[in-house]
Amino acid sequence: MSPAADALWAAIARHGRRPALRGNGLELSYAQLDTAIAERSAQLDTLQAHRVALALDNGLDWAVWDLALLATDRVCVPLPGFFSPGQQAHVLDSAGIDTLIGDIGETARAAGFREIAPGIFRRQPGQVPDLPEGTVKITFTSGTTGQPKGVCLDAAAQLAVAHSLAGLSAATRVERHLCVLPQATLLENIAGIYAPLLAGACIDLPGLEEVGLRGASGLDLPRFLQTLNAHRPHSLILLPQLLLALVSAAEHGQPLPDSLRFIAVGGGRVSPQLLERADARGLPVFEGYGLSECASVVCLNTPAARRIGSVGRPLPHATIRLAADGEVEVRGPQLLGYLGEARTTRTWLPTGDLGHLDDGFLVLHGRKKHQFITAFGRNVNPEWVEAELTQQAPIAQAWLYGEALAENVAVIVPRRLDCSDVELAAAIATVNAAMPDYARAHRWLRAHAPFTPTNGLLTANGRLRRSALQAHYATEINA
């Protein structure tokens, strides 16, 4: 058992009869959770499991298995349900998984797994790649090209982030957290399970269908709102599109629980306009920033230090600096290495994100690799413009391109099938009016269809596949 997790086990023991987890129709107190972890740990011993993939829906089972794996220093590999069968097969094989908990159907059987107990599958993997010493979790990032990449983390990195967030949870009096994002995502895993447990909070773990999430980017808004009002949480973690849906619902008079004390939002650029709209509705929204390589959260706005337009100041466990070209670098908890590559030895981790500091608050400009240079030599970070475009009511998705062009071109997916070109043009003009000339969407195209993982124009976790979009629309852009 890693000493880095000792404070977590001490917290679980200390909180005793307080409710810890609720899900799957069950509730576990902290004392019962302690017992459940011990029982699952013994089961893992019996299975002789070493590298375990969790392919379960959100729920109490996912959390208990994850904690048992952490308690026994085994390697846990969360397997997101929004990964394609090919991506799931890649994870199973590249990580040398011997035990699968959950059922992913033919993908598991094709990979040589056989069911030895309900929902538990075993195999002898063909090859077991070496891992950096201390690895207890491999989180796979879907990325924008190629197969998912495995990030190897130890217990110390994960718990350092959780401790920073637990302190914030105590300061904002969060006693009930609702897991909305898939527990297989590192952000919800660290900030939505480990941090609340350290703080003694109760965690509600409804299944993703009950939450209203469908696949990588689908949302059943009425069901989402119903779940919020039923659970009345103090805290949530949302992606920008989920926040947009929540704010829009509030603006249209949909009832929201008055229990909310802290709504964290991250995972993509958030328009300042959207944050101002949230403020106007009394929603306590705080933008943050992190990456898997740093065990999730690095910076976060808080009630005591908040600046719209920034992603906040670094949390206590992290330090940031800017390279000469404006790239953000982070010192603090970080990955041991990527799966299949040499162990990382650097102190400062280059993030690939560009930004600047404003009185200690980090303001992001966009991804370094996404930046394009216009025919007039201007650098443009398209995420900035795309985030503003998708805050306009008629626009669901947007992609901006301008590499070596005299005029930038936006490809627009309307929010409604009956949305007219006149409505779209007016929305684009509204955004352009607030943009410098070089960053505007000078011309635009109506998309052939929404960007989705199925048509290869979106990653499994909802990010634009820019090279695929460029290839798909090259003829029209050139025309």
pLDDT for 331 beyond 80:
yes
Q: How confident is the model at residue 146 (pLDDT cuts 50, 70, 90)?
A: low
How much of the chain exceeds pLDDT 90, in percent? 77
pLDDT of residue 84: 79
- Of 368, 385, 414, which closes a domain? 368
Same domain flag for 200 and 134: no
- Inter-axis angle of helices 382-389 and 421-433, to 10 degrees? 130
pLDDT at 437: 82
Mean pLDDT value of segment 437-451: 93
Q: Where residue 223 falls among pLDDT bands split at 50, 70, 90?
A: very high
C-alpha dist (Å) from residue 67 to 22, 27, 72, 315: 15, 16, 9, 24
Which band of pLDDT confidence, cut at 50, 70 and 90, is reported for residue 369?
A: confident
| Alpha carbons 365 and 383: distance in angstroms, whole number | 8
Q: CB–CB of 354/326 below 8 Å? A: yes
pLDDT surpassing 60 at residue 145: no
State pLDDT tens for residues 172-189. Answer: 999 999 999 999 999 999
User: Domain with 466 in it: what CATH number?
Assistant: 3.30.300.30
Give the pLDDT of residue 247: 95
Instruction: Out of 154, 184, 219, pick the residue that ends a domain.
Output: 154
Do 414 and 348 fall into the same domain? no
Q: Which residues contact 214 (CB under 8 A, 6 or more apart)?
A: 208, 220
pLDDT of residue 460: 73
Q: Report which DSSP code applies to 45.
A: H
Average model confidence (pLDDT) across the chain: 93
Same domain, 203 and 348: yes
Asked if 180 and 265 sit in the same domain, the reply is: yes
Residue 24's pLDDT band, with cuts at 50, 70 and 90, is: confident
Output 18-21 pairs: Cβ under 8 A, ≥24 positions apart.
18/200, 18/202, 19/202, 20/197, 20/202, 20/203, 21/60, 21/63, 21/64, 21/202, 21/203, 21/205
Domain range spanning residue 246? 156-368
- Domain boundary at 307, 337, 368, which? 368
Distances (CA, A) of 328 to 21, 163, 252: 37, 23, 38
Query: Does residue 442 contact residue 428 with C-beta atoms inside 8 Å?
Result: no
For 288, residues 6+ apart whose C-beta sits below 8 A from its C-beta are 264, 265, 266, 297, 298, 299, 300, 301, 311, 312
Grade residue 3 by pLDDT with cuts at 50, 70 and 90. confident
Query: Which range among 13-17, 140-144, 319-323, 418-422 shows the weakest confidence by mean pLDDT?
Result: 140-144
CATH number at residue 296: 3.40.50.12780
* Inter-residue contact 429 to 467 (CB < 8 Å): no
pLDDT at 92: 96
pLDDT reported for residue 466: 92
How does residue 263 score in pLDDT terms, banded at 50, 70 and 90?
Answer: very high
Report the pLDDT value the prediction gives residue 334, as an integer from 0 to 100.
Answer: 96
206-216, pLDDT tens digit by residue? 999 999 987 65
SS3 of 221-285: the string is HHHHHHHHHHHCCCEEEECHHHHHHHHHHHHCCCCCCCCCCEEEECCCCCCHHHHHHHHHCCCCE
- For residue 285, what are the CA distances in angstroms to 265, 372, 390, 444? 7, 31, 18, 32
Angle at CA of residue 368, ends 83 and 181, nearest 5° = 30
Question: Are residues 177 and 204 in contact, defined by beta-carbon separation less than 8 angstroms?
Answer: yes
Residues 393 and 454 in one domain: yes
Judged on CB neighbours under 10 Å (0-12, 13-18, 19+), 393 is exposed
CB count, 10 Å around CB of 47?
16
Same-domain pairing of 183 and 308 = yes
| Whether 217 and 350 share a structural domain | yes
Give me the pLDDT at residue 217, please.
58
Whole-number Å distance between alpha carbons of 332 and 348: 8
The number of folded domains in the chain is 3
Amino acid at 271: S
Residue with tokens 């070109």: 421
Task: Answer yes or no: is pLDDT of 468 > 90.
Answer: yes
Strands 296-300 vs 202-204: parallel, antiparallel or unpaired: unpaired
Q: Are 138 and 223 found together in one domain?
A: no
How many helices and strands (H and E) does the chain possess?
15, 28
Write the CATH number for 7: 3.40.50.980
pLDDT at 373: 83
Average pLDDT over residues 202-226: 88
Does residue 160 share a domain with residue 150? no
Bridge-partner residues for 297, per DSSP?
290
Q: Which of 216-230, 276-290, 399-413 has the lowest mean pLDDT?
A: 216-230
Residues 158-173 have a mean pLDDT of 93
Strand partners, 138: 152
For 380-401, the DSSP string reads E-HHHHHHHHTTSTTEEEEEEE
Q: Are residues 299 and 221 part of one domain? A: yes
Q: 297 and 207, same structural domain?
A: yes
Residues 227 and 361 in one domain: yes
- What lies within 8 Å, CB to CB, of 270 at 6+ separation is 240, 243, 287, 387
